[in-house]
Amino acid sequence: MGFQEVIQKGITSAIKSTGIAVDGPEVILEKPRMKEHGDICTPVALTLAKALKKNPIGIAEQIAESANFPPDTIASVEVVKPGFINMRLAHGVLVENIREVHRLGDDYGRSGLGNGEKCQVEYVSANPTGPLVVVSARAAAVGSAIVNLLRAVGFDAEGEYYVNDFGNQIEALGKSLRFRVKERFGRLDNGEEIGAYPGDYLKTIAGRISEDLVTEWERENSVARYAEHAANELLRSIKADLELYGVHFDNFFRESSLHPALVEKARTLVDDKGYSYLHDGALHFRTTDFGDEKDRVLVKSDGNPTYFLADIAYHMTKLERGYTRVIDLLGPDHHGHIPRMQAAAKVLGAPDNWFEAIVVGWVRLMEGNKPISMSKRAGEFITMRELINDVGPDVAKYFFLMRRTNAPLDFDLELARKQSDENPVYYVQYAHARIASVTRFAAERGAARLGQKANLSVISSPEERDLMVHLIYYPYVVEGAALSREPHRLTVYAKELASLFHQFYHQHRIVTGDQDLSSARLALAEATMQVVRNTLSLLGVNAPRSM
């Protein structure tokens, strides 16, 4: 049981034992914004005052007086102004937490909250019609961080990439590749145009196709060969880019594998539930019954299934595969899909809240304060690979994870390139490297082993205490970030942790002639290093021991 649960229990039973309320509200604990307000506080008396129409201060005082906590957890309880109960943690609980960090190591911050529940995060899922661009880089960073977070709190989470290797866009891709191939061998017809995908990358792919193969494909007179080849080549390079970025998917699911059987099955399912109807020769899904603004087409009047129907089939497989919850990361231009997918989930028989959509906000690349213009149509855009080559995977990921996921993001390349104190990534990594360096120094002095058995009661300065308080909150930050799917909380936490360490380091020398003090401070520094590493690991960012 964590320290918060212990406090919660103490307050809850105080509310009951004093007879303030038989069935009190959930005791919400918060970290006060200001240090003067203690280490932890609760506004529960304010909530109670509202319900009971009594004076909140009085209630708070009653709770404060009768609350019992295990020894060495709470040092002081104070009731202030409107009715807050502010508490100060005892040194013992902070010390015990440092030992906990050492004991658990990489597992500190992990929990079994999710009970091994099987869930899935689908992200990136960009069409294999070109290289990944920067918005996909953001989705990749966010998606993989969410998977890491869910695993950390005990969910059996998987990351999946849905490959749209079917349909009109792929056919258009085939045509464009065919153009590049004919261009290369000088076989272009008069007035022939490249079509939808004019980017140079198809030239590269065309350049690797042998003339024999081309002759064979031309004999079949089918763009399908070109399309299949292009999609496979592009998917291969997308996978390579993701590998370079350090983002690993558990599965790549191809849309083509849904056709035709599963797509047909999905259509039948909607039919059988009575939500489909024919209109103008096309089969429609009455998604308006579930709050969508208009009904959506499932089968076009030419007999071909829409993307939406395939997507229903895809989510049908997710349900069949036993995920109790699926989280889809959607591009900023796809937020309109949410209502129809919710409708689909209902008709598929999924439980409430089974389908969850997160919209990843736009990314605007900046060079200082000058936006970089990009046009996908003209084939001019900065790819994810170019971004990684420019600033490195760690910086790229960290920048994407600093902002709330659904908010638009300005990515300043000029700042990202800087290896200096202006760059927030290095600030955090520097703290880790600095501690690693100190431990090396301590080892030379033979002080390293002392850290393990340190008597932490000898440290008591404000800087040390602030650091310990921040460390004790880490598991709750992980939990909150996971449950709210907000990985950016981790970057905020990491920055604060690094800052508190730097303050401590600046104020106190760790390795001194005083062995007791040295080993105690070393134990604290090493615990900090461990938590920095755990945090960065969830973000998918390296924690270098030197830089």
Partner RNA sequence: GCGCCCAUAGCUCAAUUGGAUAGAGCGUUUGGCUACGGACCAAAAGGUUGGGGGUUCGAGUCCUCCUGGGCGCACCA
Smallest distance from RNA to CB 483, Å: 8
Single out the segment in contact with RNA by CB under 7 A; choices: 60-68, 75-83, 115-123, 133-141: 75-83
Q: φ, ψ for residue 42 (rounded to 5)?
A: -140, 140
Using CB under 7 A as the binding rule, the residues of this chain from 476 to 495 that contact RNA are 480, 484, 486, 488-489, 492, 495
Our CB check for RNA shows the closer of 202 and 214 to be 202
Single out the segment in contact with RNA by CB under 7 A; choices: 98-106, 147-155, 510-518, 535-543: 510-518
545: contact with RNA by CB under 7 A: yes
8 A C-beta contact, residue 172 and residue 197: yes
- Of 7, 41, 135, 388, which lies in the binding site for RNA, with binding defined by CB under 7 A? 41
Beta-sheet strands, E only, within 290-442: 296-299, 325-330, 355-359, 363-367, 370-371, 409-412
Rg of the chain in Å (alpha carbons): 29
465: contact with RNA by CB under 7 A: no
Our CB check for RNA shows the closer of 209 and 399 to be 399
CA distance 38 to 41: 7
Our CB check for RNA shows the closer of 109 and 214 to be 109
Using CB under 7 A as the binding rule, the residues of this chain from 321 to 340 that contact RNA are 332-337
The helix (run of H) or strand (run of E) holding residue 370 is: strand 370-371
Helix orientation angle between 488-507 and 462-483, rounded to the nearest 10 degrees: 170
Residue 159 β-bridge partners = 121
224: contact with RNA by CB under 7 A: no
Shortest CA distance to 478 belongs to which of 248, 208, 153, 118?
A: 153
436: contact with RNA by CB under 7 A: yes
Under DSSP, is residue 359 helix (H, G, I), strand (E, B) or coil?
strand
304: contact with RNA by CB under 7 A: yes
CA distance 456 to 468: 11
Under DSSP, is residue 309 helix (H, G, I), strand (E, B) or coil?
helix
Our CB check for RNA shows the closer of 214 and 429 to be 429
Using CB under 7 A as the binding rule, the residues of this chain from 512 to 531 that contact RNA are 512
Using CB under 7 A as the binding rule, the residues of this chain from 119 to 138 that contact RNA are 127
CA distance 478 to 401: 14
- Of 222, 373, 419, 457, which lies in the binding site for RNA, with binding defined by CB under 7 A? 419
Our CB check for RNA shows the closer of 248 and 376 to be 376
- Of 210, 294, 375, 453, which lies in the binding site for RNA, with binding defined by CB under 7 A? 294
Using CB under 7 A as the binding rule, the residues of this chain from 274 to 293 that contact RNA are 279-282, 293
375: contact with RNA by CB under 7 A: no
Smallest distance from RNA to CB 53, Å: 8
Our CB check for RNA shows the closer of 246 and 361 to be 361
8 A C-beta contact, residue 231 and residue 203: no
- Of 290, 307, 379, 537, which lies in the binding site for RNA, with binding defined by CB under 7 A? 307
Single out the segment in contact with RNA by CB under 7 A; choices: 1-9, 150-158, 209-217, 413-421: 413-421
Token output for 21: 């309320």
Shortest CA distance to 93 belongs to which of 182, 24, 2?
A: 2
404: contact with RNA by CB under 7 A: yes
HEC-encoded secondary structure of 220-257:
HCCHHHHHHHHHHHHHHHHHHHHHHHCCCCCEEEEHHH
HEC-encoded secondary structure of 147-166:
HHHHHHCCCEEEEEEEECCC
* 100: number of Cβ within 10 Å: 15
Our CB check for RNA shows the closer of 455 and 507 to be 507
Our CB check for RNA shows the closer of 204 and 484 to be 484
Single out the segment in contact with RNA by CB under 7 A; choices: 63-71, 114-122, 312-320, 440-448: 440-448
43: contact with RNA by CB under 7 A: yes
Under DSSP, is residue 83 helix (H, G, I), strand (E, B) or coil?
coil
Using CB under 7 A as the binding rule, the residues of this chain from 76 to 95 that contact RNA are 80-82, 84, 86
Under DSSP, is residue 335 helix (H, G, I), strand (E, B) or coil?
helix
- Of 12, 499, 515, 537, which lies in the binding site for RNA, with binding defined by CB under 7 A? 499
Using CB under 7 A as the binding rule, the residues of this chain from 335 to 374 that contact RNA are 335-337, 359, 361-362, 369
Provide DSSP, 11-57. Answer: HHHHHHHTTS-SSPPP---B--SSGGG-SEEE-HHHHHHHHHTS-HH
Smallest distance from RNA to CB 218, Å: 26
- Of 13, 288, 503, 515, which lies in the binding site for RNA, with binding defined by CB under 7 A? 503
8 A C-beta contact, residue 262 and residue 316: yes
Beta-sheet strands, E only, within 155-227: 156-163
CA distances for 401 relative to 267, 362, 405, 481, angstroms = 39, 13, 8, 12
CA distance 480 to 99: 23
397: contact with RNA by CB under 7 A: no
Binding mask of the shown chain, residues 248 to 277, with x at each position contacting RNA by CB under 7 A: -------x----------------------
34: contact with RNA by CB under 7 A: yes
Smallest distance from RNA to CB 513, Å: 8
506: contact with RNA by CB under 7 A: yes
- Of 111, 430, 448, 516, which lies in the binding site for RNA, with binding defined by CB under 7 A? 430
